[in-house]
Structure 1
Amino acid sequence: MPRLFTGLEIPEDVGYALSLKRGGLSGARWIDVENYHITLRFIGDVDHPMAEEVADSLDRLANSMRFDVRLTHLGSFGGDKPRSLYAGIEPSETLNRLQAAQERVLQRAGLPPEGRKFVPHVTLARLRGSTALDVARFIAEAGRFEPLSFPVGRFVLYSSRDSVGGGPYVVEQHYPLAA
């Protein structure tokens, strides 16, 4: 039974720049650079017929427009008990439209609605035992986050194995966006 999600790939040069933020945060399990991505829609464990339906449904979105993504800051999820450190993305109407379109076609294919609000980001580390103060100190000491931009020409359907922290991720299919 495959575990699926859709996302955007991170270019090698952007991944390298993000990797320079690694280190110096206790309790951090740093994500491998080759597993950096922006999740658009978590699908989860599905049987093979549903996986085929998902792949076919996503084909309908190939006419979505290309756009740029801009990473602008570091942040964390989890509040007083931080669970991940991420690079945040500047708000993008086009990115939000693509994600919403995926949500619609995947619900039409029979998947339940995504329960979480879409907050586009690149996870840099999973945290265990880090305090909110540790994370705040790390972000403050990381200094100015020089924005990183890249063009998005496609989105992909990823599969992953059930593991702690995810990865390795495999691109099962890619969907080019219109120029």
Structure 2
Amino acid sequence: MNAAAERSVLRLFVAVPLPQEAAEAIFRWTEELSQHMSFRKWVHPQDYHITLQFLGDTDTENTAAVVSHLRQAAEGQKSFTLSLRGAGVFGQPTSPRVLWTGIDGEVQELYSLQQRVTDAMAPLGFKPEERPYRPHITTARKFIDGRISSPLLEQGPDSVSWTAGSMVLFRTVMHASPMYEIQEQVPFGS
């Protein structure tokens, strides 16, 4: 076996976690919505998050450096208020790839944080996403069948507000449910 085959990698991403109250509001909404729309995969409520940067397959030996750089990015970040607002889809309206819940509140702080994270990860070789950043919470993937327009879709989940005070380095565990594990929680101002 060669050294590359023996190395241990984790599939990582950085995100703002959701409080339980927000996750429950989204879950209640998706329970109703799933009666009218079919998606191949509905996201587990414990997996709801707002992605800041996808890192991908990362050598476990680099995890400490990732956390260190995230702590530096969090140093000057203050807590900010977010809330759930609306919903929509990415992809073709007749066959969308993703169903999402929208974000409102101090969204400019979220954009600033995302930029801080991508700037902090760049020296470690992680490239930022080429598409413009569009903060959202993925709630379902891979539309199968049904009507894509529904008053429930347009309304989105009940609005819940919270204070975002940290970001999380998550690990993806494929074929698990929930499939995201917290590797490190990084409080703002740390």
Q: 2:53 aligns with which of 41, 47, 52?
A: 41
Following TM superposition, the consecutive aligned residue runs of length 4 or more in structure 1 with deviations greater than 3 angstroms are 141-146
Partner SS for 2:88? strand
Summarize deviations over 1:30-59 as a string: whole Å, max 9, x none: 111111111111000011233222111111
Aligned to 2:98: 84
Equivalent residues, number = 174
Equivalent residues in 2 for 1:21-170, closer than 5 Å: 21-22=29-30, 23-24=34-35, 25-63=37-75, 64-80=77-93, 81-90=95-104, 92-130=107-145, 134-135=147-148, 137-138=149-150, 140-142=151-153, 144-145=155-156, 146-163=158-175, 167-170=178-181
Q: Is residue 2:188 matched to residue 1:177?
A: yes
Amino acid at match of 1:99: Q
Which structure has greater strand proportion?
2
For structure 1, which segment, 107-116 or 91-100, has the greater mean C-alpha deviation from structure 2 after superposition? 107-116
Q: CA deviation at 1:11?
A: 0.8
Where structure 1 has 5 or more consecutive residues not aligned to the other structure, the ranges are none
In structure 1, distance between residues paired with 2:128 and 2:28? 36
Name the amino acid aligned to 1:68: T
SS at match of 2:85: strand
Structure 1 vs Structure 2 CA RMSD: 2.2
Q: Kindly provide the amino acid, as one letter, of the partner of residue 125 in structure 1.
A: A
Structure 1 counterpart of 2:24? 16
Q: 1: distance between equivalents of 2:180 and 2:39?
A: 23
* CA distance in structure 1 between the aligned counterparts of 2:152 and 2:183, rounded to whole angstroms: 38
Post-superposition Cα deviations, 1:65-115, rounded to whole Å, max 9, x if no partner, equal 110112211111112430111101127111100000000010122222323
TM-aligned CA distance change 1:112 to 1:142, over 3 Å:
closer
Is 1:3 aligned to residue 16 of structure 2?
no
Residue 147 of structure 1: how far off its partner (Å): 2.4
Checking the alignment, whether the CA contact within 8 Å between 2:168 and 2:184 is kept in structure 1 is: yes
Distance (Å, rounded) in 2 between the aligned partners of 1:178 and 1:105: 15
**Secondary structure at 1:106's aligned position in 2?**
helix
Q: Distance in 2 between matches of 1:130 and 1:108?
A: 44
Q: TM-score, normalised by structure 2?
A: 0.82
Is the Cα–Cα contact under 8 Å of residues 82 and 130 in structure 1 kept in the other structure?
Answer: no
